[in-house]
Structure 1
């Protein structure tokens, strides 16, 4: 009974590495979405802050009460706190994205390395088979009677 080739024996390992790479790519995509959402939230807060400051400029020119000014400053402070927290969240998501990208790159490199190894094994097996066939043909040709014509 013939034993499976080295390339065939590696097939389950390659399949497992490909599954790991696919999962790492999916996680990378999920982390990229989270970064995009965090960036969008931060941009939204920033736009809201700008709009709120525009209200101050419009309203301030008309004169404001002390209570309105205190409320404005309190709200602006809360908005700044929310923006700082969102900035921290974005930094955390970017860190996760970076780690996921590194994990995916390693998984991808492993799959590519295994594929190259399998291809090398296939090429080596083909060369051995070609040599075996050539040897067989050489032996057969030497057994055939020669017909020399002059």
Structure 2
């Protein structure tokens, strides 16, 4: 007897499940990178705030021209680093969105295949039920005709 349509789809479903799992893992990895980039940006922004607070404290006591130049140079470098980290965060977010779309496509494909297999199984069950009912009807007719063996 040949394999049922549902059984023939099992290898395809297994491949789709594997592809969906891999995409989900990739999405999780990307989400981790986004969180990491967000934390790094937050750290840099807090550091800038602390550094600016230091300016306020030091400025009240008076600072030298050299200190002020060093402060401004470092603050400029810090602003550059913050800008670069923002760009990095946006890149990670865009990448994560692309990976999410791939996962969504693979998940939808997998769910479609599962529904198809369920439909095939339901159709096979219905056909089997009809076949059994036909056999029972024939047996019932034989018994009512008085010949239990159908002769």
Band the TM-score falls in, shorter-chain normalisation: over 0.9
Alpha-carbon shift at residue 145 of structure 1 (Å): 3.6
Instruction: Give 5+ residue unaligned stretches, structure 2.
Output: 147-151
Structure 1 residue aligned with 2:48: 49
Output the CA distance in 1 between the equivalents of 2:104 and 2:119: 22
Instruction: Give 5+ residue unaligned stretches, structure 1.
Output: none
Tell me whether 1:90 sits opposite 2:100 in the alignment: no
Deviations 1:42-86 (A, max 9, x none): 000000000000000000011111111000000000000000000
Relative contact order, higher structure (CA 8 A, sep 6+): 1
Tell me whether 1:111 sits opposite 2:121 in the alignment: no
Structure 1 residue aligned with 2:20: 21
Instruction: Give the 3-state SS of the residue equivalent to 2:3 in structure 1.
Output: coil
Deviations 1:5-46 (A, max 9, x none): 000000000000000000000000000000000000000000
Alpha-carbon shift at residue 146 of structure 1 (Å): 5.1
Structure 1 residue aligned with 2:127: 128
TM-score (norm 2): 0.95
Output the CA distance in 1 between the equivalents of 2:92 and 2:99: 10
Output the CA distance in 2 between the equivalents of 1:117 and 1:61: 74
Output the CA distance in 2 between the equivalents of 1:116 and 1:104: 18
Structure 2 residue aligned with 1:68: 67
Instruction: Report the number of matched residues.
Output: 146
Output the CA distance in 2 between the equivalents of 1:80 and 1:5: 65
Runs of 4+ residues deviating >2 angstroms: none
